[in-house]
Amino acid sequence: MSNLSGKQGLIVGVANKRSISWAIAQAADRAGARLALTYVNERLEGNVRKLAETLTQPPVVLACDVTQDQQIDEVAAGLDREIGGLDFLVHGVAFAPREAITQPFLQTTRGDFQVALDISAYSFVALARAVAPLMARRGGGSLLTLTYLGSERVFPNYNVMGVAKAALEASVRYLASELGPQQIRVNAISAGPIKTLASAGISGFSDILSIYRDRAPLRRNIDAGEVADAALFLLSNAGRAVTGEVLLADAGYHAMGL
């Protein structure tokens, strides 16, 4: 297992115990990291604080609505105050209005498009900008986000989220280029479909799971724990030479034509 002893990390995007971000938080905690977690609003604060209590080292818990630059700045200030520096960030935030993933892509409104791109892609850029000074103080760090194959291929009812994930992956490459001189690495994991709060809103998701299971080289679906293990590699010194990468963790489904 990758070692994160002595590392300090921020996990953004924990909603409940089924969140991929939470699986990564648990794995990072077991690997020895000291964590900070965020919650988006009062409705989810209780969930996050309850989960936080189960970690080995009590984490810092902070409010962060990623659509608000002031709250992002307050998170960075809170991290500076509470732990003094940062070694890694996990960005697990994505959202599109329901209409934008249930109606044809051609019908996507300007407002829904802006919301999807703002929360799912721009928030990674905004968070990176806020925490980069904290990482530079530690001699470098690792930024990690979560994406999906819908960025490259058309999946039914994914629609504007596919466009947002494409923008997110491009952002990974541009951030990797700009932050590399500070020894800050930037990567993404493109995970196979997993039952989460977010995936529950995608019509026909069960069919997608079945297709992956039938056609992926490993003939199975993946679980959040496997994504977390891949994340530990990219967050730890084991992945110190990897940046600007989108790592596919999908049982090999992406390699198949039919």
pLDDT (tens digit, 9 = 90+) per residue, 117-167? 999 999 999 999 999 999 999 999 999 999 999 999 999 899 999 999 999
Q: How many domains does the chain have?
A: 1
| Catalytically annotated residues | 148, 158
CA distance 124 to 143: 9
Q: What is the pLDDT of residue 198?
A: 66
Q: What is the pLDDT of residue 121?
A: 98
Is residue 140 in a domain?
yes
Is residue 3 in a domain?
no
Is residue 112 in a domain?
yes
CATH number of the domain where residue 41 is located: 3.40.50.720
Between these two residues, 258 and 189, which has the higher pLDDT value?
Answer: 189
| Closest to 236 (Cα-Cα) out of 22, 87, 36 | 87
Q: Please name every residue paired with 101 in a beta bridge, in sequence order, or none if there are none.
A: none
Is residue 235 in a domain?
yes
Is residue 173 in a domain?
yes
| Closest to 88 (Cα-Cα) out of 206, 257, 238, 207 | 238
| Sign of the Cα pseudo-torsion (66, 117, 141, 135, in order) | negative
pTM, full prediction? 0.95
Domain that holds residue 18: 8-255
CA distance 145 to 173: 12
Find all residues with CB under 8 Å of 203, minimum gap 6, and list them: 101, 102, 156, 157
Q: Please name every residue paired with 39 in a beta bridge, in sequence order, or none if there are none.
A: 63
- For the cut 70, the answer to whether the pLDDT of residue 81 exceeds it is yes
Q: What is the pLDDT of residue 169?
A: 98
Is residue 161 in a domain?
yes
Is residue 177 in a domain?
yes
Is residue 106 in a domain?
yes
Q: Give the tens place of pLDDT for each residue, 55-68.
A: 999 999 999 999 99
User: Which of 50-54, 111-115, 119-123, 203-207 has the lowest average pLDDT?
Assistant: 203-207
Q: What is the pLDDT of residue 2?
A: 80
